[in-house]
Amino acid sequence: MVEENAIVQLKKLSKRFDQDQDVLSDIDLEVKEGEFISFVGPSGCGKSTLLRMLAGLTSVSEGALLIDGATPTEPRDDLYLVFQEANLLPWARVRENVELPMKLQGKPKITRQAVADAIVELVGLQDAADRFPRQLSGGMKMRVSIARALSVSPRILLLDEPFGALDAITRNQLNEDLLKIREKDPFTAFFVTHSVAEAVFLSTRIVVLESNPGRIADIIDVPHSYPRTVEFRESPEYFDLLARTSKSLRQQKGESE
C-alpha cells in the first residue's frame, strides 16, 4: 500500500484544541522524498499547527500522520524545525548556536566542530562564526538558524515563515541560497509562507489552505526543474503560476471573510 518513496503521509488528519471547532480538518496529503511543499493560506488557518504536528510538538486529534509509513512516537533525529524568529541562544556564539543540536545529541566536540565549520561556510557566515547573535543582522540570524537546522543533516526540514521578517532583497537572496544548499545536502521541505512569490520559486507543490476549519483548497504543481535560478523568476511560467496561486489564495480569503 505504502508507496515506495512517500516520506510523509497525512490521512484525514484533523486537529482541534480542547473542545473547540476543528482548526484543521480532513487533511490528505502524500509527500515524496525530496519534495518541497509550501503551505499558503489565510492567517489562522492552521499552517503553524500543521508543522507543529509534523514536528511532534502537538498531538494529532484525528486521522493519521505517517512518516516513513509509521506514526512517530517521539521527536525524530532526522527532522528539524526552523522557526519564524531566528530563535538563537543570545549567550552563544554563531558557531556554538550551530553546534547546539549536535551537542544535545551527544556528538563529540571534534565532530561538532568539523560539521559546524562546513555548514557555517555553506550559509556564508564564515567571517561571523565567532560573533554573538546581537552582532548580526536579521538576515544573518536567519542564516544561523538554518545552519543550525542543517547541522543534523535532517531528511525532513520544517520551515515556519522563516523569512517573514526580512526585506524582499534579503528574502530573495536567502531563497536562492536555500535551494543551493538543498542541491548539496538534499532534504524534504515543508515551508510555510505568506509570500506567493517565495512559494512559487521554491516549491515542487504549493498547498493552498482555506480556514475555519483549515482544509486543503487547492494544490498547485510547480513542474520547473531544479536548480532554479534568477531566470526562472523572469519566465512566463513563473508569472503564470504566481497568478494562479494568488487567485486561488484570494478565493480562500474571500470565503473566510
Ligand X SMILES: Nc1ncnc2c1ncn2[C@@H]1O[C@H](COP(=O)(O)OP(=O)(O)OP(=O)(O)O)[C@@H](O)[C@H]1O
Tell me if 193 contacts Mg ion by CB under 5 A.
no
Which C-beta is closer to ligand X: that of 25 or that of 48? 48
C-alpha angle 74/75/81, rounded to 5°?
160
Minimum CB–partner distance for residue 102 and ligand X (Å): 29
Minimum CB–partner distance for residue 104 and another protein (Å): 4
CA distance 235 to 186: 25
Choose the contact partner of 44 out of ligand X, Mg ion, another protein, none; CB within 5 to 8 A by kind.
Answer: ligand X
Chain mean position to CA 173: 16
Q: What are phi and psi of 224, to 5 degrees?
A: -50, 135
Which C-beta is closer to Mg ion: that of 37 or that of 125? 37
Grid cell, residue 145, equals 538558524
CA distance 142 to 82: 9
Q: Which amino acid is at 48?
A: S
Tell me if 145 contacts Mg ion by CB under 5 A.
no
Tell me if 45 contacts ligand X by CB under 6 A.
yes
Q: Which of 9, 48, 151, 248 binds ligand X (CB under 6 A)?
A: 48
Using the 8-state DSSP alphabet, how is residue 257 labeled?
-
Q: How does DSSP assign 26-57, residue by residue? A: EEEEEEETT-EEEEE-STTSSHHHHHHHHTTS
Minimum CB–partner distance for residue 55 and ligand X (Å): 12
Taking contact as CB under 6 A, which single stretch among the options 26-34, 41-49, 137-145, 147-155 is the one that binds ligand X? 41-49
Tell me if 47 contacts ligand X by CB under 6 A.
yes
User: Interaction with Mg ion in 12-51: which residues (CB under 5 A)?
Assistant: 48
Tell me if 43 contacts ligand X by CB under 6 A.
yes
